[in-house]
Amino acid sequence: MTVLKDVLSELFSMFVADARLTISILAVVAVAALLIDAAHVAAIAAGALLLVGCLAVLLAAVLREARRR
């Protein structure tokens, strides 16, 4: 039972090590998807937003943690 609990906990922490980081990435993907499907923006523009958004999320997450410590 402990092994199963540890496995589930490991799987969870693989993708949700930092809740704000996870939510931010999912938000960037959702916005890119909405731009393509709902706003009919050119796919490549949504792709650029996806890329820049992910880079910005990374920078913000590192700097937030550095300030917090």
Token couple for 10: 């490991």
How many angstroms separate the first and last alpha carbons of the chain? 35
Work out how close the CB of 33 gets to other proteins at its nearest, in angstroms, rounded to a whole number.
6
Residue of 61, 60, 59, 35 lying closest to 48 (CA atoms): 35
Helix ranges, 2-68 (H): 2-15, 19-37, 43-68
Residues within the interface to other proteins (CB under 8 A) = 3, 6-7, 10-11, 14-18, 21-22, 25-26, 29, 32-33, 36, 43-44, 46-47, 50-51, 54-55, 57-59, 61-63, 65-67, 69
For the bound state, the minimum distance from the C-beta of residue 57 to other proteins, rounded and expressed in Å, comes to: 7
In angstroms, give the least distance from the CB of 13 to other proteins: 9
